């Protein structure tokens, strides 16, 4: 079926108090597992790959792979570019068929972030895609299995209101104590800050670094305006666990990769249902 996770669908989830699960993808087995999980639950899903995943698999091959898998999925499936600050990369992914992109200007001065985000918004909207952006950097390492709890900036609600108004962005990633990876020290989400952000912006909010967060905290964040939740580390750990558990003396890859794919599917299905409130 055609790729489909337009911004109207994201806003519908936001309005209904639901969130769509967005999974970071590095290879075929992860992409297949997520789509199988989406089909088994009957819920929409997003496959996402960004610069770090491209460094592993190559931008062209990985982008083509996840677009192809998403098109074969029997439920609405979006393809998202995660954490990019490269306009050429964004253009290439839009041409490849991505349905949404994230411009990450969090390390830039505010005025530069606003200017470039607005440029990306114009580019993506012309291609029929929607845009997520980031205002304050999120601590941790999105590609590491663990992360020390690093001190990071938190999203300022007042600045967030200005940023959304001046850029025309469709979704905003928030920094409310969340951390990429699974930190060695448990994190506490600043839900009061999240509520203040929601009161000042009129777009869906995005939570990065959801791996390892208690379910109750995630559900509370959804109720306060989070409509897209990124998951990375828990999928990688499921894949690794499936490979380690595959006890076989056969050398065919399906005997090794099949159980790993099944493990990823199980974790993904649980996240999808939790975020959908079912």
CA angle 15, 195, 155 (to 5 degrees): 110
Q: Which residues are marked as active site?
A: 82
Give how far Cα 25 sits from Cα of 70, 232, 277, Å.
12, 8, 23
Quick check: 3 and 35 in contact, CB under 8 A?
no
Residue whose entry in the numeric block shows the structure tokens 């440029």: 119
Tokens standing for 276? 């959908």
Distance CA 208, CA 140 (A): 10
Terminal-residue alpha carbon distance, the chain: 24
What does the longest C-alpha to C-alpha distance in the chain come to? 60
Q: Which residues pair with 132 in a beta bridge?
A: 102, 171
Distance CA 178, CA 198 (A): 16
């Amino acid at each position: 079926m055609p790729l489909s996770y337009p911004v109207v669908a994201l806003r519908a989830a936001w309005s209904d108090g639901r969130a769509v699960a967005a999974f970071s993808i590095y290879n075929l087995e992860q992409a297949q597992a997520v789509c199988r999980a989406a089909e088994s639950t009957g819920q929409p899903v997003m496959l996402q790959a960004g610069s770090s995943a491209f460094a592993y698999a190559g931008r062209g091959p990985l982008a083509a792979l996840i677009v192809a898998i998403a098109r074969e999925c029997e439920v609405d499936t979006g393809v998202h570019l995660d954490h990019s600050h490269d306009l050429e990369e964004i253009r290439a992914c839009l041409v490849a068929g991505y349905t949404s992109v994230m411009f990450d200007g969090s390390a830039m001065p505010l005025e530069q972030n606003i200017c470039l985000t607005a440029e990306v918004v114009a580019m993506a909207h012309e291609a029929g895609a929607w845009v997520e952006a980031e205002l304050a950097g999120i601590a941790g390492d999105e590609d590491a299995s663990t992360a020390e709890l690093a001190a990071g900036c938190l999203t300022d609600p007042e600045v967030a209101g200005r940023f959304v108004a001046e850029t025309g962005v469709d979704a905003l990633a928030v920094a409310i104590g969340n951390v990429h990876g699974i930190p060695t020290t448990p994190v506490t989400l600043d839900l009061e800050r999240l509520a203040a952000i929601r009161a000042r912006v009129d777009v869906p909010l995005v939570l990065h670094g959801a791996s390892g967060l208690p379910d109750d905290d995630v559900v509370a964040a959804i109720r306060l305006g989070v409509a897209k939740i990124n998951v990375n580390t828990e999928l990688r750990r499921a894949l690794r666990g499936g490979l380690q558990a595959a006890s076989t003396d056969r050398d065919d890859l399906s005997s090794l990769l099949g159980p790993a794919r099944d493990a990823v599917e199980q974790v993904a299905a649980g996240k999808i249902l939790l975020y959908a409130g079912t």
